[in-house]
Structure 1
Amino acid sequence: MTRRPGVGGRVAIVGYAHSVATRRADRPLGAVAVDVARAAIADAGLTAADIDGFVTSALFPTAGAHAVRDGVSTVSAAWLAQRVATAPRYVAGFQGIGQLPGAVALAANAIAAGAADYVLVHRALHNPVGGYHDNPANTVSGEQQWTVPQGFGGPLPMIALPYNEYLQRYQADPDTMASVVVEARKNGARNPWSYWHDRPLTRAEYLAAPMVSDPVRRLDCDIPVDGVAAFVFTSAERARDLPHPPVYVAGYAGSGPVPARLPLHWPLDDIMAGGLDLAERLWESAGVRGPGEIDLAQVYDGFSPFVYFWLEALGFCPVGEAHRLVADGGIDSDVPGAMAVLSGGGALGNGRMHGIPQMLECYLRLSGRAGARGGSASVALACHSSPHYGGAVVYSSEKY
């Protein structure tokens, strides 16, 4: 890796905590978030008085008409800071494209600029009562009048369209996607905090799942949960005095503005063009020459087709070849030499935690805290959302 301008190597993760992911928690989301934040601070060997920065991306990810209440259905940085901190001097919420990578960038930049010494980054996800994307509206206006009456509304048709394009363009067998979902569930079932703990999936069970927006099956979608995770960031210099091996932020990139389309219209060409641009800027930011220098990649899988799109956009296989890589066992984490891109279980294997499983797996592996999943990885990459509407962060176990 080559030292690049910016935060590369100057900011590190030094502790974390994660709640159990459950369909609906027996306490308000804010109460869970406070406990997780305090646990992450203690894990880093710090006290609440040390934390002077709070950052999150508080997007409530449902297209339905559910009430958004801070501390109940979402947890903002300001809400958490009021209940955990003693004297915060930096509180920010990321609102752009690529929620979790954007929050990491805010935290890293704040520390590098001296705006805060210790920043807590959290993500709190809520599963509202009722159907997740239920919407009682019976009229629409604006751009959506051209799509919603025809049934094109919400994220399911949004991902079904480019996935259909992919299957037809590259003559891909839709049954191959079973290997992606089974791999995620296998690894998520090994995590004690996962919603799917001890519940792996068989190929037959995947293929028996109903279609929800052809060719997307129910099990191609991550399950909504209540869950919270938090990470503590600080400077590389301060990290030396803390109990756990630091994991450094090497670089990051977020997607640029997407082409103007009808609402939720994500053509495959847009996804790939945006992803290729993101990858180029990511390698430059992190000081790596490309995917060959990445030891561990954790790709986003909120919908299973994202795995294909990320593998190809980042250059881990040629465009149009991800389905063949998967069919040949190329992402099976139990096979030596395979690309273990879902070794942390991802969203499909743990629940809808919006990029947290990817980030957490990178942190645990690089800090030597992954137990049996440990290895020789020193450079890792975590993605979030779609390649053209998301972001990615490169982490390193070595300061450079």
Structure 2
Amino acid sequence: MNDVPGQDEGPDLETTRQTPAGARPDVVAGRYRILGTLGRGGGGTVWHARDEHLGREVALKRVAGEADADVLLTRGMREARTSAALAHEHVVRVYDAFEHEGAPWIVMEYVPGPSLASLLEGGATLPVRQVAAIGAQMATALAAAHGAGVVHRDVKPGNVLLVDATGQEAKLTDFGIARAEEDHQLTRTGMVSGTAAYFSPEVAAGEDPSAAADVWALGATLYAAVEGRRPYPDAANPVAQLHTIVRDRPRPPQRAGALTPVLAGMLDPDPRTRWTARRAAEALRAVARGGQETGGAAFAAGAGAAGAGAAAAAAAARTREEAAATQAGARRAAPGWWRTARPGRPPPGVAATARPRRRTGPRHRRPAEAGAGAACWPGWWPSR
């Protein structure tokens, strides 16, 4: 696995074997003329096509996988319905869905710009304010999805599409493994779905993905965009990667500047105190408007000043539940840069390099999790 974003986003854990591309069709359903290939993956192939009836360019996805035909049809229709229900300016629109030659096809908005992953190839980075602007758009898209009860489950640079070469506007795509919060059936195949490199600690430990996990994945995506590397070094295989995510804390950012306190909130190891998508969007917008594009090794001590604008926006966006949790002492006093870099609070009187305490056994699960069957990895986990 490669630690550089864009080159290898890690294996998709729903299927680690790439689906054969098959022969390129000329015309699909007597209407969509294929112009080229936009991408291939475990979830299918996406073609660049022209709708001959309406005279417009579209993205045409043939849903594929290792499941049987009935499951694929159900999954394809679910993806289409999920995306179509999210009428948001920063979510790729779905125009139609149909069955053709025994396979589900989805007709989507064509986004001509590159993916964020392609811009990050070779360890490239983007300016802090541009990353914040893209992040704010993705966070508002996630907030809309979460408000509709939908969890994306696979936020990563490859699923962030830029509208054009300027990179100022982006859209979130690929709700192929997304699900409504009450739907637990189609993706319960013995392995959690998604891309391991962007899993949150709780998902890596075996818990069901939630809205909080989407926020973590977006935070990891923005971290990669500004740092040129992912929060964790890549491991040799998916299982080792999951172990690393659960056991270790994210590497402190060195170039994030004013984004540091925002990343700290989004990459909080505890999903209960992690920022919501809405709160992250407000803070990211503040950084995009006036964030400083300078970082430094002393981010732990300087984060309060660097993130003053983000702190104000975050405080305004804090929900009543989060405020109540803070007053009740739910926030843990765990060391680490995600704590010292939090906006609006001075860093504690400890060195930035202080190591968190390590547990010698598996983390204790909350009573509600007992007997859930999720994996418990040994190693450090901040106390609940």
TM more than 0.5: no
TM-score (norm 2): 0.31
TM-score (norm 1): 0.30
Q: Which has the higher contact order (CA 8 A, sep 6+)?
A: 1
